[in-house]
Amino acid sequence: MSEYAAWDWSVGSKTVANLAECDCEIQWREENQASPDGEQVAAVVNTGEGEFTVCVNGSCWEPRYERVWYLRYSPDGRLSGLACDEGDWTMCIDGEQWEETYGFLFNTMFSKDGSVIACCVADAMTYGMVVDGVAWENLYDNANNFHLSADGQKTVAVVQTVPLGQAEIFKFKEGVYSVAVDGEAWDVNFVNAWTPRFNADNSSVAAQIRLNLFDYTIAVDGKPWNTVYSQVWEPLFHPKNKSIVTPVRISGKWGMAQDEKIIWQPHFYQVWQQQFSPSGDRLAAIVCPEYGRWTLAVDGKTWNTTFGDMVMDLTFSPDGRRLAALGKQDTKWTVIVDDRVWSGQYDMCFAPVFSPDSQHVAARVEKKGKYTIAIDGKEYGQNFDQCFDPTFSPDGSKVLIRAIAGGKYLRIVEPVANIIG
């Protein structure tokens, strides 16, 4: 796949593939995946009893497997699937499999630019991660909460460093879990650890920990904060420095702590999924300011619009000035941008996408089983049987729509002005 800017941004619609056509005999076709540039559509296909491969734009990968699953495009356009051949698992990328095979592979992850593909491995009852085919040197009795750094250079997971027998509750309370970076565990154990995350240059890792059954805090590179809380959620590093923010619960209410200092007073019923703006100047999170009502708070200040069901998919604009999320009220979803709600109500909305110039917000939306995209609250004129997330052109003037209608996969480039009118 070519660079984002070099994608075909000429306005128009084209049929990329007829999904009924495939150059191999198929019994059934599984979920479709569209490449980021929209030039490919792929799906796992069954080619006979116990035999699977992947069909891309009507042509099948050569290798046949007992099973292929979790077919996903990486951000750089490579197509990866977890594949099993004679009981051994590997990753097959664009039809070429890793040289290495393992007992089992799962949970594929991509670096932000897609250049690194990683996944989790279970081999001979031990656990760890595999990056571009290479597994950690040390595998553990158990591992979970796997994470790949944004640049793909580092991996981290919560690992079990001490064997634990059946119903060994006292040993558990002494701590048998730690955090392993590239397979190397911290030299300290905790009762629990969750959601380890890297800072911007991967030099530091922070995770939620539980010191006993009641005291929660954040550990940074193995060292717990001095302050403990009745609950915490996932830590997040500032994009420019080593400062960490995390929602914390004090006396029954949630607030936000930054490096152990309370920056949002604990008066919320919930605070989570916090995000920094790209520059780190602003901090936003999903909050529950009054019981049963949900909204966003930016730098501790709560938005006026609230939703009864839920708020999800908080997204900052590239310039950090704008903020969008999805809100659900009375089972209907909509998009909320800068505390203003789109007029459309949908059975489902997908994560909002900002244009590179931060001027427009688009989202994939669904009503009664028909999908389309909407920009700034205005729906695209055509409905589809399936649709993928929209992508803006580099200058923000056009939008790429990837969709399936009538058994055909379409690639449409439409001027944004035509949609928002």
Partner 1 sequence: MEERVWIKDEGIEAGAAKLTPEKIEKTINAVFDNETGARLKAYVETCIHCGLCSDACHFFLSHDRDPRFSPVGKVKQTIWPMLKNKGKVSVEFMKQAVQVAQTECNLCRRCVQYCPFGIDIAYMMSLVRRICHKQEITPLYIQDTAHSHAATMNQMWVKDDEWIDALQWQEDEMRDEFPNARIPLEKEGAEIMYSVIGPEPKFRTQLIYQAAAIMNETGMDWTMPATPGWDNSDMAMYTGDSEMMGRLKRMHFDTAARLKVKKIVMGECGHAFRSVYDTGNRVLGWRMPPIPVIHALEFYWDLLNEGKLKVAKTFDEPVTFHDPCNVVRGRGLHEKAREVVRAFCPNFIEMIPNREHNYCCSAGGGVINCGPPFKNARVEGNRVKAEQLKATGVKVCIAPCHNCHGGLEDIIHTFELGIELKFLGEIIYEHMEKPNAV
- Residues within the interface to partner 1 (CB under 8 A): 27-28, 30-31, 46, 49-50, 67, 69-70, 104, 106-107, 120, 122, 127, 142, 144, 160, 166-170, 172, 177, 191-192, 210, 213-214, 216, 230-231, 249, 251-252, 269-270, 272, 288, 291-292, 294, 308-310, 312, 328, 331, 347-348, 350, 366, 386
Cα separation, 180 vs 185, in Å, equals: 4
Nearest distance from C-beta of residue 282 to partner 1, angstroms? 23
> Using CA atoms, how far apart are residues 288 and 267, in angstroms rounded to an integer?
9
Judged by beta carbon, residue 229 or residue 393, the one nearer partner 1 is 229
The CB-of-214 to partner 1 minimum distance in angstroms stands at 7
- For partner 1, the closer of residues 167 and 304 by Cβ is 167
In the complex with partner 1, the residue whose CB is nearer, 103 or 394, is: 103
Complex with partner 1: residue 213 or 263, whichever CB lies closer: 213
Minimum gap (Å) between residue 162 Cβ and partner 1: 12
CA distance 165 to 229: 29
Cβ closest to partner 1, residue 3 vs residue 125: 125
132 by DSSP, 3-state: which? coil
Q: Which is nearer to partner 1, 10 or 251 (CB)?
A: 251
- Please provide residue 37's backbone torsions phi and psi, each rounded to the nearest 5 degrees: -80, -5
Q: How far is the CB of 6 from partner 1 (least distance, A)?
A: 28
C-beta closer to partner 1: residue 71 or 413: 71
Helix (DSSP H) and strand (DSSP E) numbers for the chain? 2, 43
Least separation in angstroms between CB 270 and partner 1: 4
Go through the chain and tell me how many residues it has: 421
| Nearer Cβ to partner 1 (101/199) | 101
Sort residue 19 into left (φ over 0), alpha (ψ -120 to 50) or beta. Answer: alpha
Q: How far is it, in rounded angstroms, from Cα 86 to Cα 99?
A: 15
DSSP string, 13-67: EEEEEETT--SS--SEEEEEEE-TTSS-EEEEEEEETTEEEEEETTEE-S--BSE
Strand partners, 54: 44
| CA–CA dist 134, 141 (Å, integer) | 19
C-alpha–C-alpha distance, residues 396 and 381, integer Å: 19
H or E stretch including 420?
helix 416-420
Give the H/E segment covering residue 276: strand 270-276
Q: Name the minimum Å distance from CB 408 to partner 1.
A: 19
By beta-carbon proximity to partner 1, the closer residue of 8 and 290 is 290
* CB of 233 vs partner 1, minimal distance in Å: 8
Decide whether 9 or 104 has the Cβ nearer to partner 1.
104
Residue by residue, DSSP assigns 309-322 as SEEEEEEE-TTSS-
Of 349 and 410, which has the nearer Cβ to partner 1?
A: 349
Q: Report the first-to-last Cα separation within the chain, whole angstroms.
A: 32
Strands 41-48 and 126-131: unpaired
Supply φ then ψ for residue 396, to 5 degrees. Answer: 80, 5
According to DSSP, residue 125 is labeled T
Rounded to a whole number of angstroms, the minimum distance from the CB of residue 31 to partner 1 is 6
CB of 111 to partner 1, least distance (A): 19
Token representation of residue 130: 């595999």
Give the nearest distance from C-beta 212 to partner 1 in angstroms.
9
CB 57 within 8 A of CB 29: no
Smallest gap, in angstroms, from Cβ of residue 269 to partner 1?
4
